[in-house]
Structures are given as C-alpha cells and as structure tokens.
Structure 1
Amino acid sequence: MTTDSPAAPNSPGGSATGSAAADKPEQATIPFAIPTVASEVPDAVAKVLGSGWITTGPQTGAFEQDFADHLGAAHVVAVASCTAALELCLRAMNLPPGSAVLTPSLTFCGAINAILHAGHRPVLVDIDEDTLVPSPHTVAAAAARHAPAAMITQNQGGYPVDVAALTEAAGLDRTRVIEDAAHGPGAARDGVPVGAHSFAACFSFYATKNMPIGEGGAVATSDQELADRIRSMRLHGMSKDSWRRYLPGGSWRYDVKNVGLKANMTDVQAVIGRAQLAALPGWQRERGELVARYDAALAGLPNLTLPQRDLDGVQHAWHLYQVRVPDRDAIIAELETAGVGTSVHFIPASHMTAYQSILGPEECAAVPVTDRVADELLSLPLYPGLSAAAQERVITAITEALRSRG
C-alpha cells in the first residue's frame, strides 16, 4: 500500500494536523506525523551539492548497497517512489495487455494507479477483519472471479503478510507476485526481514514513512534479471545512465531496448537515505515503546479495537497505529478540537469514483469486509520524538470521546 500522496489533513499518507481547540489556545497541536531527520543529513547533503554530481550517481549506488545489506536482499534498485516501483515491476513482467492483477481494495490509490498505468485491470481482494490484510481465503475468492496473471500484496500499517500462502492461494508463481512493502521497513516473518528473499518488494521513503527521505522508493529482489530490467526502465529504458556515460573512458552512446519511465532517485535523496537508514533501528525501538504505551492505556476501552497483534514469528513494523472505532468521523472532529491530529488508512478503492467507473458495480461490491471495516479505521499519531506528554494527550482525548458514547 504505497502512500506517495501530498500531506493533507485527515487524509491517507498525509501529515494531518488538527487545529488547536478554541478554548485551549495554550495547547499546541499534536500533528499526526512529523518526519524524523538524522543529525548527519545536512552535512551529507551539503557534500553532495558540492560534489558536482547531484542526480543518479555514486551515492545512489551506495544507498542501494546499504539497503540491500540491511534487508539481506541480493539486489536493490532505487527509484522515484513506491508507486513507480510497483509500475516498473508490472511492466518488467511483460504481462499480456489487460491482464487481471489481484490487489487489496484497502490500499492507497497509487497502488491501483500503478496497475492501470501498466495497462492492466485491478481485481479487488477483501481483507481479514483481524489483520486488515488479505487472507488465503479472500485471495482464492478473488482469483475465482478473475484468473489472475499477477498479484500485489501489501503490509497494511506494517503488518507483514504471509506472501507464500497468498501466492499459493492465488495459483501463481512467485515471479508473478509483487509485495507492496511501503509500510514494510522494520517488519519480518520468522526472523526474515520483509524484502530479503522477495522476487519483488517495493518500498516507500515518503515523508511520513518509518525511514523518510521526502520522496523515493526502491525495489528489493532476489532476481538479477529483474533488477537489471528495472535499473534500465527507471531511466526511460536507456542502456546506460548519465553517470556511466560520463565516467572516464565512458561513451555518449546508449540504446533503448525497453520502453521505460522517468523514475530514478537522485544522489541528494540517496545520501539522505543512507543517513536515515543508519538511524532506523533506533527509531523502530521508539515506535515499539510508543505502541506498548498505547496498548497498555487503550486495552479494554469500550468501543475500541486495538491494531493487528504480533503473532508467533511476526514482527510488526508499526508504521501505523490503527484502531477501529464507531462514529469515526465524529471522533476525528472531537480529537481535532482537542488538538490531536489523526489520519485514515485508507479510503478503499471500491469507494473511489474513477475506479467505480472502470471496474463496475459488481467488482466494487466484492469486498464487503473492507467496506464495513474501512468506516471504522482511525490512525493515531505514532513517530519517533512523540513525547510521553503528547501521547498522554492523545490517549486522554480518544478515551473521553469513546466514553461519552457509553
């Protein structure tokens, strides 16, 4: 579920902030999200700016290797966004035009757009109510409606799906499965980080993500051929990028063997990513501590369902702390009045006007659990640097809002 959207109040992927209560002007608003930036970033960026090379070059290559080492992946290709990563992977598969591609309906619109831009047709998959991600049962049901040529899985909020089980349920080979790991850094199954052994796992470094760069994405893959194709396709399909053409002994000549996109990462973004990656383990520990405090304070609160739980062998990335509440929109308004920013992840694809027109009413009606649960989802502030006092204000505000409903 990629969220490369611009920041917007109470919107998916946005850095939503409620306005401070009129009767409490002394209380600052608690934003839904604040990007965390490592202290090494300014100096690192200054060095790149002074290097004479700021687009895709040596720092991009170094970031790719750093991230591959972090994941334990064979190859990483850095790109402009997770949305671009998804589209590039689909294009690299060379599927017949108009192929059916399974995707959750509870996802960011960028994931749906990637399928459409690649020339294929989304097939909506329902979710499991407890995990908020598709199950083998819901995948099999969608595959029975439309035999899929490929599938995009997702890690909703940082919960790592069982990719092997979903692949089997879809009746697909692993080389036809793309993992939307936009919320994935920090997640693992059975001790294996998300993306470590994937055919294609797509990551996001958007401003609100666990490892924010501002914009940017990456594909982690175990397949050399796929990595080579995406590396070329991220720069229009050119056989050589500018850095390699202008190295000593290089040549200005290049070929275009596959039609690609303009979807490369710059060295400025990459050097930020290298510093952010070094800080990520500490930030993940902070997220875990915040989640533990939320759990302790909110457990047993009437009319509230806590987020997906860690199961045996499952390590949650905790990109989001998603609760389920009744009368969600009114509670958002009450929290905004109390000076607490929130967000919603996500408005289902089946609710979007453009997709309803493209997919038709029958397809959009095929995800009843998604439709019901989506109206209850609420994401609370969760980011490194969220103070204990600020978190206590969030807890107090949502507790009062729910208890007033009996």
Structure 2
Amino acid sequence: MSSAVPFTVPSFAGEVADAVVKVLDSGWVTTGPQTAAFEQDFADYLGAAHVVAVASCTTALELCLRGMGLPQGSPVLTPSLTFCGAINAILHAGHRPVLVDIDEDTLVPGPETVAVAAARLVSAGTPAAAMIVQNQGGYPVDLAALTAAAGLDRTRVIEDAAHGPGAGRDGAPVGSSSYAACFSFYATKNMPIGEGGAVATTDQELADRVRAMRLHGMSKDSWKRYMPGGSWRYDVKDIGLKANMTDIQASIGRAQLTALPEWQRVRGELVARYDEALRGLPGLTLPQRDLDGVQHAWHLYQIRVPERDALIAELEAAGVATSVHFIPASHMTYYRGVLGEQECARVPVTDRVAEELLSLPLYPGLSPDGQDRVVTALTKALRARD
C-alpha cells in the first residue's frame, strides 16, 4: 500500500510532452542536436564554460577521473557518507577510495577532516592524487578551502553536484567555476529527467575528453557522422564508456530547466515551513543552516533524530514515507573488503551521525496538507519519547 505522503514525486514542466513528441517526429532520438542544445542551455544556467551531457552522475564522475589520466591505483579522497555510485566510480576508474570524515553540522567533509586524511596519505608515502567532494543534500561545499586542505591543484578535484542544481556560494552557482562538477537528473533530483547527468567544466581539454569517452572514445558521434556532409570514418584514441545522453532525455531536460527556478522557490518555502514547525521538538536536530554567502539547493531536508529506525516505522504507519541518505561506504560489505577494517574505522563522526539521519518528504508538489501530515506524525512520535 502506498503512503498518503510519498517521499518524493517527480515534477514535470508542461512543455515536456510536446518536446518529446517533436524529437520522435524528427527521426533522430539518440545523441544529436537536442543534446547539444541542452548542453548550451545548462551551461548558460550555470554560467559554466562547457557542459557535456552523459548517462548519469555516476558515469560523469568516472569519466572525469579517467579524463585526469591518473596512474592506476591512485588514492582518491572521498566522503564515506555518499551514494555507493560515487565509490563505484573511483573503483571502476581503477583507483583507490580513501575515506574522509564529515563535519557534524554540514554533513560534508570540512577542511580539518580533509587535511587529516591527506596527511595520513603523505605519511604513508602515497599522497592523494585526486578528491571527490559532495554537496550533501544541496549544501554547497567550500571548494577552494577543501582543495587547499587536500594539498591538491584544482584540476585534481571533482565536485559531486548530484544534489547541487540551484545551489551556490557568494553568488556563483555550483558548477560555474569548477574544473569538474558532476550533476544528476535522476527521477528524485531537483531537475528530474528520469535518468541522465552532466559534467560542467572550465577546461576545454577535459570537456573534449569526456565528450569522446562518453561514446567509447570515438572521435565523432553518430550525429556528426551521419549529418549532411559528414563522414563515416572515426578514430578511437582513448578507451571510453557507453555513457551518452539521448535527444529524448535532452528535450525533457530543456523543458525542465525552464521550470527549475520556480521549483527552487517552492522548495525554499517548504523548508521554511518545516523549520518553523519542527524547531524545538525534543531530540530533533534541524538540517545544516545557511551561512553568509551560501545558497542551499534543498534537494533534501535531512533531520537527525534518536531511534531513527523505529521512527521510520511509526511514520510509515501514519502514512508518511521517508528515506535515509546515505548508508556510509564504510558500512558496506564489498567496500569493507576492499578498504579494510582499519580504513573503515577512520570516520567516527560519519558512523555516529549516519545512524540518526532521516530525510523527510520535500518536492515542489508537496501540498500544505501533506506537509502538515508529516509534521503532525513526526511531532506526535517525538513527543511520545520525551
């Protein structure tokens, strides 16, 4: 039986259906003119020099790591509190994840925790070769501070901006000035397409490499080969993946992008209502707060509560669906085998906080009545514990 208040419901702009039909009628449905147009539209939205559309944020991360040309087995710093796809991207690229603990207030690594992990690698004689930083829940990290703490050049830092559309720091959107920022358009994200991702970069060479590697490393995609005047000849200069976005997806993305600012405004209003209603409840910690110059994307509304798992069951019984973001990599069987017990024990704050995290419903279609039902059920459950 479905919950009366789902955890999330994807929003779609009114123009989506017409956009898809136009692509179907065009006779060209895979990577082509709509994909190129979406890349330009998204680059304009971010203020980024280059955008390359790909199959997912996970493939975007892997392609960026491959594009760096790191030696095989290179240590790559990453938070443990992240989606498994981000860890998989490091492993698939042939490198070694190195776990970084989080700051308790922001739920992302801070300069101090990054510096500790980086110093540990230096002491072992294998300095960090790269780092993936994550905008957990839509909170934009201080990219410059984390880069400096890791002792890395900016061209060795990838921003996992799966939760990032709509976020920014000091007036600059996430992805506008990154060497590599990777976005997700999965069904639950702030700008849902269903599937899909993108790389935003200031670097022409990286953009060119990712563009080639998203289609097996081929020097020309199908559109360039089969358009009038094109040639069937192509070369493969570097191994790649099958990780392209289709024109059907891109047409949805173009329509969705026009609606994103309004959806972000609604998310902000819902967050303000949650803040007002939940502040002061016993045992509840509100999500990370906005700081000066920080624009939160509010992909997730993550609270911290005691006895989290029991509370999830109580809310479900009241018709309210919730979720948890994320199960730390250090808790996963496969990663524990790869990393070892000692490495997995180096993120104590992550381990503690992860047992308390709970994501409440937050999406543009969440009605006031639905949100009130979430608040009522949560308030009743927490006050019964007091």
TM-score range, shorter chain: over 0.9
Deviation sequence 1:77-121 (CA, Å, 0-9, x none): 000000000000000001000000000000000000000000000
Question: What residue in structure 1 maps to residue 67 of structure 2?
Answer: 92
Q: What amino acid does structure 1 have at the position aligned with 2:172?
A: V
Aligned with residue 190 of structure 1, among 170, 173, 183? 170
Structure 1 CA distance for aligned equivalents of residues 232 and 179 of structure 2: 33
Question: What residue in structure 2 maps to residue 168 of structure 1?
Answer: 148
Aligned with residue 285 of structure 2, among 276, 281, 305? 305
Deviation sequence 1:366-397 (CA, Å, 0-9, x none): 00000000000000000001100000000000
Which stretches of structure 1, 4 residues or more, deviate above 4 A after TM superposition? none
Structure 1 CA distance for aligned equivalents of residues 12 and 223 of structure 2: 28
Structure 1 CA distance for aligned equivalents of residues 336 and 174 of structure 2: 32
Structure 2 CA distance for aligned equivalents of residues 250 and 277 of structure 1: 31
- 1:17-166 maps to which residues of 2 (within 5 A)? 19=1, 29-146=4-121, 147-166=127-146
> SS of 1:50's equivalent?
helix
The alignment status of 1:213 with 2:193, answered yes or no, reads: yes
Structure 2 CA distance for aligned equivalents of residues 192 and 289 of structure 1: 22
Deviation sequence 1:154-192 (CA, Å, 0-9, x none): 000000000000000000000000000000000000000
Q: What amino acid does structure 1 have at the position aligned with 2:57?
A: C
> SS of 1:178's equivalent?
strand
> SS of 1:318's equivalent?
coil
Structure 2 CA distance for aligned equivalents of residues 287 and 248 of structure 1: 45
Structure 2 CA distance for aligned equivalents of residues 91 and 332 of structure 1: 39
Deviation sequence 1:325-346 (CA, Å, 0-9, x none): 0000000000000000000000
Structure 2 CA distance for aligned equivalents of residues 145 and 36 of structure 1: 44
Structure 1 CA distance for aligned equivalents of residues 274 and 382 of structure 2: 15
Question: What residue in structure 2 maps to residue 23 of structure 1?
Answer: none
Structure 2 CA distance for aligned equivalents of residues 161 and 44 of structure 1: 35
Question: What residue in structure 1 maps to residue 124 of structure 2?
Answer: none
The number of residues matched between the two structures is 381
Deviation sequence 1:350-369 (CA, Å, 0-9, x none): 00000000000000000000
Deviation sequence 1:105-158 (CA, Å, 0-9, x none): 000000000000000000000000000000000001111122200000000000
Question: What residue in structure 2 maps to residue 368 of structure 1?
Answer: 348
Structure 1 CA distance for aligned equivalents of residues 120 and 97 of structure 2: 12
Identity %: 81
Q: What amino acid does structure 2 have at the position aligned with 1:205?
A: F
Question: What residue in structure 2 maps to residue 352 of structure 1?
Answer: 332
> SS of 1:106's equivalent?
coil
Question: What residue in structure 2 maps to residue 9 of structure 1?
Answer: none
Structure 1 CA distance for aligned equivalents of residues 231 and 172 of structure 2: 41
Give me the TM-score of the superposition, normalised by structure 2: 0.98
Question: What residue in structure 2 maps to residue 282 of structure 1?
Answer: 262
Give me the TM-score of the superposition, normalised by structure 1: 0.93
Structure 1 unaligned residues grouped into runs of 5+ = 1-18, 21-27
> SS of 2:146's equivalent?
helix
Q: What amino acid does structure 1 have at the position aligned with 2:198?
A: A
Aligned with residue 227 of structure 1, among 207, 226, 244? 207
Q: What's the CA shift for 1:29?
A: 1.5
> SS of 1:145's equivalent?
helix
Structure 2 CA distance for aligned equivalents of residues 39 and 48 of structure 1: 16
Structure 1 CA distance for aligned equivalents of residues 112 and 26 of structure 2: 53
Q: What's the CA shift for 1:277?
A: 0.3
Structure 1 CA distance for aligned equivalents of residues 6 and 366 of structure 2: 9
How much is the aligned-residue C-alpha RMSD, in angstroms?
0.6
Question: What residue in structure 2 maps to residue 7 of structure 1?
Answer: none
Structure 2 CA distance for aligned equivalents of residues 44 and 120 of structure 1: 40
The alignment status of 1:394 with 2:374, answered yes or no, reads: yes
Question: What residue in structure 2 maps to residue 331 of structure 1?
Answer: 311
Q: What's the CA shift for 1:270?
A: 0.1
Question: What residue in structure 2 maps to residue 385 of structure 1?
Answer: 365
Q: What amino acid does structure 2 have at the position aligned with 1:65?
A: Q
Structure 2 CA distance for aligned equivalents of residues 205 and 96 of structure 1: 30
Aligned with residue 342 of structure 1, among 322, 325, 330? 322
Q: What amino acid does structure 2 have at the position aligned with 1:348?
A: P
> SS of 2:112's equivalent?
helix
Structure 2 unaligned residues grouped into runs of 5+ = 122-126
> SS of 1:404's equivalent?
helix
Structure 2 CA distance for aligned equivalents of residues 385 and 260 of structure 1: 39
Deviation sequence 1:229-271 (CA, Å, 0-9, x none): 0000000000000000011111000000010000000000000
